[in-house]
Chain A
Amino acid sequence: MQAAYLAVIYLFCLGLYCVVTEKNLIKIAMGFVIMEAGVLLFLVCLASFPDGVPPIVLEGVTSSSMVDPIPHALSLTAIVIGAGTTGYMLSLIIRLYRQAGTVRIDRMGRTEQ
């Protein structure tokens, strides 16, 4: 489990670094997606334990061996929200690119006038 947590932290911090330091809007959007992946991985880690089985009630599966269904539901909701937000962000970027001719936020400021 500790190794998975390391991956969570790595993804989150990588995405955050990307968002904070990048000037390219597409890369900023990618940074957000990476951060989100980290959080989702964390949620899935929270649900699981060694030898856990999917939470689907079948013959011969005891309830104590099933993983926690709630984080899975939460991450599904978060995925769809993330998809909507990312989609909107990309459409804004396309629009900005068509007007400014660049996706770099530092150069956009100059074309503003």
Chain B
Amino acid sequence: MTHLPILVIIVPLVYAFLVPLLDLVSSRLRTSAAAAVAVTHLVFSIALFIHVFQNGTLEYQLGGWDSEVGIILYIDGLAATFAVMIALGTALVAWYSLDFVREGESKYFLLLYIASAGLSGAVLTGDLFNLYVFIEIIALSGFALVAFRRGFRALMAAMRYMIFTILSSMLILLAIAFVYATMGTLNLGEIAASMHQFDPTVLKVSAGMFLVGVALKLAIVPLHGWLPATYGESSTPVGALLAGVGHKVPLYILIRFLYFFEAAAGEQRLATILLGIGAVTIAFGHFMALGQPDIRRVLGFSSIAHTGYMLVGLGIGTPFALVAVLFHAMNHLIVKLSAFFSVGMLTRGDRERATVLDLQGRGAASPFAGMAFLVSTLALIGIPPLGAFASKWALIMAAIRADHIGFALLMIAGTVVAAVYYGRIGKTLYISTDDLKPDRSWTAEGVLYGSAAVVCAVAFSFALFPAANRILDELMVFII
């Protein structure tokens, strides 16, 4: 028996509990411990992934009770993959924050690691009510992190985020009560196995409430109202955490749910709904991003659009489409983080908001951040050599193969729109303004050539793929 699953959850949690104590000792100790815990968490997650990869699905019986009476952690390929993604994402956010957190803001790391433990727990747990508990942990730490710098607008954004999120928690809790009333158990595996016990009405109502709850958290279009303000007003690492990492948990829940639902009848209608909502979400996200002055909001709306891509992939429902969705989720995680981080570095000086105009000429002033931002926007658009291109392309191919040509065209059109709004930002970044030094154009060009070189290098490594490709194939087979 291995204790890895519980360690992945407990390590960040214990650190969070210890923060008040560490703070009494010294704030430097607290910060360096934060960096160490981020590494440990990541190492444990990767070890868990390797363990599951080698030995197959793992069940960890908390308190020694089996799935019949107690809570188990259930880790299959999908859960292990998401756990690694979450650990990687939170570790990156934590390292970025080492520099960001000022003296006397000890609560920041506490909340960050609570969120980290909650996110890991939500993907590892095999119990429905336990999932709800972890969702609440994520939500509460999320509110507190959004309100962290306490500007009035941030508080308003936190409030709005809170109203949407609590609403979704209530719906999910009621749906869980219905499931328990029917099945008498809360174990996910057993619920999936005896889906047929459900009365059709109960199934529709509870599944509907559950899905609406998850959709609220995913910010699918009619229910997206909280997202732009939340991403726009929260500070850089928090925005990165919510957009890159926090977004993955409802996605994971949705994927899990669709797998379970396959056992029940009426799956086709759900697929149609997913496709339709996904298409609307893509169109809306890209359209709204076009006119946004605030960069973080642009990133937020682009997140909405990317959620739409993933929904369409899930709606297509073929194994290939699912692989594409997972691949896209991974790329989205990394790319969103780097986009947020580079925006944070470009707009340093701690402005509450960063508009596109604020970025004027900043690319030349801080070449590294400018290049990072360029590369991540290129990836978000889906320019060929980058990973996000590959996953977007896979999604489009999946749509074509499943005879959903319209959706493929929509995704391509979305890419063009994304190119327009990111192109606008990219241009502003390197636009010459009068108050900059004359040698700026030289730097700017250097940066552009540099980023082009990086892009080509990545492309080249993609071309050298056979070996890497096989590993990836194997991974995907294992995950699915």
Contacts and interface: CB of A to CB of B under 8 A. Distances in A.
A36 B177 CA distance: 12
B289 interface: no
B159 A42 contact: no
A82 B320 CA distance: 41
Nearest to B129: A74
Contacts of A43: 177
Contacts of B180: 46, 70-71, 74
B144 interface: yes
A30 interface: no
Interface residues of A, number: 33
Interface in A40-83: 42-43, 46, 70-71, 74, 77-78, 81
Nearest to A20: B167
B224 interface: no
Contacts of B177: 39, 42-43, 46, 71
B155 A99 contact: yes
Given A46-B181, A70-B180, A36 B170 contact: yes
Interface of A is mostly: helix
A43 B177 CA distance: 6
B21 interface: no
Interface in A1-52: 12, 15-16, 19, 25, 28, 32, 35-36, 38-39, 42-43, 46
A85 B136 contact: yes
Interface of B is mostly: helix
Contacts of A92: 143, 147, 155, 158-159, 162
Interface in B163-201: 163, 166-167, 169-170, 173-174, 177, 180-181, 186
Nearest to B150: A95
A105 B156 CA distance: 9
Given A39-B177, A46-B180, A19 B152 contact: no
Contact of B173 (A19, A70, A78, A96): A78
Q: For the side of the interface on B, what is the size category? A: 20 to 34
B153 interface: yes
A113 B413 CA distance: 37
B240 to A, nearest CB: 22
B140 interface: yes
Nearest to B159: A92
B22 interface: no
Given A74-B129, A81-B133, A92-B159, A35 B170 contact: yes
Contacts of B163: 19, 28
Nearest to A77: B133
Given A39-B173, A39-B177, A84 B140 contact: yes
Contacts of B136: 81, 85
30 contacts: A12-B174, A15-B170, A19-B167, A25-B159, A32-B166, A32-B167, A35-B170, A36-B173, A39-B170, A39-B174, A42-B174, A46-B180, A74-B129, A78-B132, A81-B136, A84-B140, A85-B140, A85-B169, A88-B140, A88-B143, A92-B143, A93-B159, A95-B155, A96-B155, A96-B156, A96-B159, A99-B152, A99-B155, A108-B156, A112-B156
Interface of B: 129, 132-133, 136, 139-140, 143-144, 147, 150, 152-153, 155-156, 158-159, 162-163, 166-167, 169-170, 173-174, 177, 180-181, 186
Interface of A: 12, 15-16, 19, 25, 28, 32, 35-36, 38-39, 42-43, 46, 70-71, 74, 77-78, 81, 84-85, 88-89, 92-93, 95-96, 99-100, 105, 108, 112
The list of the 3 closest CB pairs from A to B, nearest first, reads: A81-B136, A46-B181, A35-B170
Given A39-B173, A112-B156, 18 more contacts: A15-B170, A16-B167, A25-B159, A28-B163, A32-B166, A32-B170, A38-B174, A39-B170, A46-B177, A70-B180, A74-B129, A78-B173, A88-B143, A92-B147, A92-B155, A96-B156, A112-B152, A112-B153
